[in-house]
Amino acid sequence: MRNYTQSRFSKDDAALLLIDHQSGIMQLVHDYSPAEFRSNVLALGKIGKVFDLPVILSSSYETGPNGPIIPELLAMYPQAPVIRRPGQISAWDNEEFVAAVEATGRRKLIMAGVTTDVCLAFPAMQAAAAGYEVYGVIDASGAHDFATQSMAVQRLVMHGVTPVTWLMVAAELQRDWRNKTAEGTGKLFHEHLLNYGMLIDNHMALTGGQQ
């Protein structure tokens, strides 16, 4: 088992890979409601902005039923590499994608893909085999059903990929509320964790806006 203290990622050594978050294929996700899943995906995307991570977007067969990458991600990262794969199911089978990952210089990869069992699992396992430390963001990936999600996570773990949630990613990157990214992280939580947002609203009302 890896030593967490030695292996945990930071804003200085991690890259964010968002794979196949496309308007067509996202309709295959049924372990989250459409609104909840889209919120999870956008929350993960915003983490990259808050912590200034290198970000790579990729899509598969956009001209077919998979559809285009959702517009919020493209608007969020107008300068990020967008690898539009012509046919490869696994992003890691695309040389341009692998080259973009290598160009980041980061060895810890935070990855999400629709769906968990294919779009995330295949490149995540391949990246782990290539020596990267890979963290699969399960709640920003999604699956046809809960059984598929469970089996996919088990397979990922067997191949050395660490399953996480977007909240775990944000908290691990933030580490200390005294860090300068605290305002951005707090805003992210407020927007995408409804219970947390109500908690903060309640606190601000009771304290008159004082921290």
Catalytic positions are: 119
* pLDDT of 203: 66
Going along the chain from its start, the domains and CATH numbers come out as 13-175 (3.40.50.850)
Task: Supply the mean pLDDT for the chain.
Answer: 93
Ramachandran class of 117: left when φ > 0, alpha when ψ lies in -120 to 50, beta otherwise: alpha
Q: What is the pLDDT of residues 53-85, one digit of tens each?
A: 999 999 998 988 899 999 999 999 999 999 999
Before 185, cis peptide (omega within 30)?
no
| End-to-end Cα spacing for the chain | 40
Q: Is residue 123 scored above 60 in pLDDT?
A: yes
Q: What is the pLDDT of residues 38-58, one digit of tens each?
A: 999 999 999 999 999 999 999
| Alpha helices (H) along the chain | 4-7, 34-50, 71-76, 95-104, 121-129, 146-158, 166-174, 182-192, 194-207
Helix (H, G, I), strand (E, B) or coil at 193: coil
Q: Is residue 168 scored above 90 in pLDDT?
A: yes
* pLDDT of 129: 98
Percent of the chain with pLDDT over 90: 83
How many residues can be counted in the chain?
211
